[in-house]
Structure 1
Amino acid sequence: MSTSPHLWRFTLLGLLLLAGCSKQQAPSEEVRPVRVVSAGQHGIDNGNSFAGQVRARTETDLAFRIGGKVIAKLVNSGEHVRKGQVLARLDASDTSLDISAKQAQLAAAESDLAQQQLNLKRYQELLAKQFISQAQVDSQQNGVNAARAKRDEARAQLTASRNQGSYTQLVADADGIVSQMLAEPGQVVAAGQTVARLAHDGEREVAIQLPENALASVRQQQTFTISLWAGKQQYQGRLRELAGDADPATRTYAARITLPQAAGLALGQTATVSLPGASHGDSSAMRLPLTALLDEQGKHALWIVDPKTLRVSRRAVSVLNIDSDSASVRGALQPGELVVTAGVHLLHEGQRVLLLQQGEQ
């Protein structure tokens, strides 16, 4: 019995398909583009100084006492304002209607009281002529007292409504600079929601973050040297405030150093607070971009790139101090090593990376 040529073709095709399915393609390794910085490029930190920012001694969060729709923003962030100056307004239509209603209630209560008093006078005249009894006069007197209480309540409600009307204006409580304006016209805000942040005029301070091994040295210092990055001015300051608990994310302690002779400094200027004679260990600390820190449950690490294999490895470090865009760290880190500065939470141990050149996205 001969085999059909078509049957041979189908059999051969089936064998080829089975062979193709049996071959498993090896998964391709993910290569993640990263930015890096050379350790030590941002400077070696000797542990005797801490970066910070110039802040106002007093900063107030301003809010409306009532909720409503913002219809006017009268100042912008960075503007200087005077005490009593109106910063923003709410839609007063609802409060205006309420005031009108309370005025009508007060007018009705006053009219009723006047009528009750006229009735009482007439009752007293009738009593004098012995046309009515004393009990009827006493009853009318009670009506007058009730009408007077109703009038007083309506008057109090009108006063409260007028106060509510004044609450539609957000007013500066001191001379200062509006560091932030957090509401725009058309936005609906709740009572007590922060709308503006006001930095009061007057004394300036430097806000810094301290590691726990620097607390004792800082407490012992009588004076500190504050250097400004812009202009290179130097001032003498003293410790005014030191937090009693560490920040849960950075494990550092917030501190404030006063600048009694520098009331005119601009807010947000970068400053360095130096501790004369203080020492926190060796001089192996380095300053790195804040984005290089990998924070996992209060423990910090860096991703180090091997320049030969282009694979990353985790390196544990301790944070000495931190500011808005950089951190001083100490650990088994050598100058010149490549540290990943972006996407640190997307990497894993031994992952291969592609180094981006400056300016690449």
Structure 2
Amino acid sequence: MTPHYHKLALASALLLALTACKEEVKPVEEIRPVRYTIAGAGQQSHLRQFSGEVRARQESRLGFRVAGKVVEKRVSSGDSVKKGQVLAVLDASDYQLDSQAKQAQLAAAQANLAQQAADLKRYRELLAQNFISAAQVERQHTAVQSAQASVQQAQAALSASRNQAGYTSLIADSDGSVSEISIEPGQVVAAGQIVARVAAAGEREVLIQVPENAVGELRQASSFNVKWWAGQQAIPATLRELSGDADPATRTYAARLKLSGQPDGLRLGMTATVEASLPGQHSAAIKLPLSAILDEQGKHYVWVINPKTAKVGRKAVSVGRPDSQGIDITAGLNGGEQVVTAGVHLLRDGQRVTLLAK
């Protein structure tokens, strides 16, 4: 092959390569699958939820009426008790000694009264014989009255001392179960110190803690429904009591709800969810999941799907307060639009999407 033909072949190869480079490569359009919801369709919620626990209608916080050292603990937390049953006992030796001293004082007072009464009888006999004056008899009569008062005083002191000795036993004031007992043998307790809590048998309630911004809503609720985390059937309830003062530690208000029935297997301390229906508190705002909101530079947007072109467009919205059901859209949507609810940070204006099942 001559150099001329060699150059001609090389030029032809270069021409073909350049022609191939000029062919346009069409990019493949990215179509992203998205989940969506219809704005305003069943998104509004009229329920307010609170967490609570099952408590007894009546709960007694018990403590000894006298101070002393614990010598016996007869029950534990969770035990069933009967009215009048002894829960714990203090060392009563000092109170028993005091009762013995008061008993001796009563005996001395009674002996003195008997002596004064006998003297009064003799004085009256002597007065009848004109051996003494009437004034002496009157003074002896006063001495008898004083002796009688001393006997009454000694009797009262003995009764009080015996009561003190009886207070060394902690007694259950009703049938129920021991929710808590916080003493052990050897411990010294003060008079009035709370050492046990007994939940009375019978009616059960649900106790919830209400934040201060929900107290007004709770009072206006038309109905309550209690659901159990342990799987029992949900039952209606009514508001029985709402505290007028906030707890100093949690700054919440305690509320008690009376159950319309007592389901089988209901136990103290079980966790429940209380749903309060709030009529007249419906908001005109559209409710969307929090995942549908795109935040950029302090502004809020949502992606709205054009049903004709299957493309998304970003739309600025105004939002209200979030809750467990989502967030309120107060402006920017008219309702009925298809709004993307997941992956909002991965979309761009005009991007084509496919709709996944809601």
TM-score by length of 2: 0.64
Asked if 1 retains the 8 angstrom alpha-carbon contact of 2:86 and 2:172, the reply is: yes
Deviations 1:263-297 (A, max 9, x none): 762111010111246678757689xxxxxxxxxxx
Q: What residue is the counterpart of 1:239 in the other structure?
A: 239
Q: Which residue type is aligned with residue 270 of structure 1?
A: T
Q: What residue is the counterpart of 1:312 in the other structure?
A: none
Q: Which residue type is aligned with residue 266 of structure 1?
A: R
Moved more, 274-283 or 142-151: 274-283
In structure 2, runs of 5+ residues without a counterpart are: 1-44, 292-320, 328-341, 344-358
Asked if 1 retains the 8 angstrom alpha-carbon contact of 2:222 and 2:278, the reply is: no
Q: What residue is the counterpart of 1:106 in the other structure?
A: 106
Q: How much does 1:249 deviate?
A: 4.6
User: Counterparts of 1:224 and 1:285 in 2: how far apart (Å)?
Assistant: 26
Residues 88 and 262 (structure 1), Cα distance of their counterparts in 2 relative to 1, 3 Å cut: same
Residues 329 and 275 (structure 1), Cα distance of their counterparts in 2 relative to 1, 3 Å cut: closer
In structure 1, runs of 5+ residues without a counterpart are: 1-45, 287-317, 321-327, 337-361
Residues 99 and 270 (structure 1), Cα distance of their counterparts in 2 relative to 1, 3 Å cut: same
Asked if 2 retains the 8 angstrom alpha-carbon contact of 1:225 and 1:275, the reply is: yes
Residues 250 and 152 (structure 1), Cα distance of their counterparts in 2 relative to 1, 3 Å cut: closer
Asked if 2 retains the 8 angstrom alpha-carbon contact of 1:204 and 1:263, the reply is: no
Q: Which residue type is aligned with residue 230 of structure 1?
A: A
Deviations 1:119-152 (A, max 9, x none): 1111111111111111111111111111111111
Q: Which residue type is aligned with residue 128 of structure 2?
A: A
User: Counterparts of 2:210 and 2:80 in 1: how far apart (Å)?
Assistant: 32
Report whether the alignment pairs 1:275 with 2:276: yes
Larger Rg, first or second structure (1 or 2): 2
Q: What residue is the counterpart of 1:5 in the other structure?
A: none
Q: What residue is the counterpart of 1:192 in the other structure?
A: 192
Q: How much does 1:259 deviate?
A: 1.3
CA RMSD, aligned part only? 3.0
Residues 140 and 235 (structure 1), Cα distance of their counterparts in 2 relative to 1, 3 Å cut: same
Q: Which stretches of structure 1, 4 residues or longer, exceed 6 Å deviation after superposition?
A: 278-281, 283-286, 328-331
Deviations 1:36-76 (A, max 9, x none): xxxxxxxxxx7632111111111111111111111111111
User: Counterparts of 1:263 and 1:67 in 2: how far apart (Å)?
Assistant: 42
Q: Helix, strand or coil for the counterpart of 1:231? A: coil
Asked if 2 retains the 8 angstrom alpha-carbon contact of 1:222 and 1:238, the reply is: no
Residues 120 and 270 (structure 1), Cα distance of their counterparts in 2 relative to 1, 3 Å cut: same
What pairs with 1:254-269 in structure 2 (closer than 5 Å)?
254-262=254-262, 265-269=266-270
Q: What residue is the counterpart of 1:221 in the other structure?
A: 221
Q: How much does 1:330 deviate?
A: 9.3
Q: Helix, strand or coil for the counterpart of 2:268? A: coil
Asked if 2 retains the 8 angstrom alpha-carbon contact of 1:202 and 1:263, the reply is: no
What pairs with 1:1-361 in structure 2 (closer than 5 Å)?
48-262=48-262, 265-276=266-277
Residues 141 and 50 (structure 1), Cα distance of their counterparts in 2 relative to 1, 3 Å cut: same
Q: How much does 1:245 deviate?
A: 3.6
User: Counterparts of 1:263 and 1:131 in 2: how far apart (Å)?
Assistant: 89
Asked if 2 retains the 8 angstrom alpha-carbon contact of 1:95 and 1:164, the reply is: yes
Q: Helix, strand or coil for the counterpart of 1:88? A: strand
Percent identity at matched positions?
Answer: 56
